Amino acid sequence: MIPAKSSPKILLIVHQRYSDPGRVGLRLRTHGMDLEIRRPACGDSLPDSMDDYAGAVVFGGPMSANDDHEAFIRDELAWIPRAVESGKPFLGICLGAQLLARTLGATVTPHADEMAEIGYFPICPTAAGRDLFEPGFHVFQWHVEGFGVPDSAELLATGDIFRNQAFRYGRNAYGLQFHPEVTEAMNRRWTIKGAARLSNRGAQSAEEQLAGRARHDNRMSRWLDRFIVHWLDQEQAPVKVASAEQPALVAGD
């Protein structure tokens, strides 16, 4: 008997015991990917290499990318360059994007006016991001810190409250400040479990978020379909990730 061929495997890094990869996980399964979830914040180790994986996604969480007192944050900051250097598709979402930005030499900071970005807000493509985003595209946000854009990366989309919304490093690594993975059930759960955040300046109420979802989520879901196809196609030759002191040398640039 010929052994069954295994499906490509995507590594998913989440940051709470019951975190859900949501629609990102569903879309990856639709494209024939097996998923392996690891939770470094709960004691899981990170792989030594990306040899067994077709790509990696690092999701968000309630902690800060600046929490260097947390061993798992230090571990992820040390591991992300190895994942990116493999040339396999890499995606950071919210906290994951902030960690990616830090590894590339950028800062992660609160808003200067102590604003939060929680709910549905429009983003606008830059010239470099017109192949991925359209003007007036509303996305779901849940964060009080934002990333700077590394010198070695391209800014792809901007927003009104936190300017930097998406960036690309080389071909294979993307950072998104917003949350395309959030399903309606996740949205409702976050507004309940994270209710204290809704009192932050700039945060939308639970009712405003669900109304925004009714208006904007179909478009966001269609965008995610296109983005996942694009992202899975972005594997490149192994590269050396630039540190804060060393400029990037990216194959194919």
**End-to-end CA distance of the chain, in Å?**
45
Domain encompassing residue 202: 9-232
Residue 50, domain member (yes or no): yes
Q: What global pTM score does this model have?
A: 0.93
Residue type, position 239, single letter: V
Residue 247, domain member (yes or no): no
Query: What pLDDT score does 248 carry?
Result: 38
Query: What pLDDT score does 2 carry?
Result: 52
Per-residue pLDDT 10s for the chain (253 aa) are 454 567 899 999 999 999 999 999 999 999 999 999 999 999 999 999 999 999 999 999 999 999 999 999 999 999 999 999 999 999 999 999 999 999 999 999 999 999 999 999 999 999 999 999 999 999 999 999 999 999 999 999 999 999 999 999 999 999 999 999 999 999 999 999 999 999 999 999 999 999 999 999 999 999 999 999 999 999 888 878 875 443 333 333 2
Residue 249, domain member (yes or no): no
d(CA 176, CA 105): 17
The vertex-123 CA angle with 55 and 37, nearest 5°, equals: 25
- Which CATH number does the domain housing residue 66 bear? 3.40.50.880
d(CA 147, CA 15): 18
Query: What pLDDT score does 5 carry?
Result: 61
The vertex-143 CA angle with 161 and 80, nearest 5°, equals: 115
Q: Please state the domain count of the chain.
A: 1
Closest CA to 90 of 29, 174, 22, 33: 174
Q: Contact at 8 Å (CB) between 34 and 7?
A: yes
Three-class secondary structure of residue 118 per DSSP: strand
| Residue 213 phi, psi dihedral angles, 5° rounding | -65, -45
Residue 250, domain member (yes or no): no
Query: What pLDDT score does 239 carry?
Result: 76
Query: What pLDDT score does 252 carry?
Result: 30
d(CA 30, CA 225): 10
Residue 217, domain member (yes or no): yes
d(CA 50, CA 61): 23
Residue 40, domain member (yes or no): yes
Residue 156, domain member (yes or no): yes
Residue 74, domain member (yes or no): yes
Three-class secondary structure of residue 27 per DSSP: helix
| Residue whose structure tokens are 């934002």 | 146
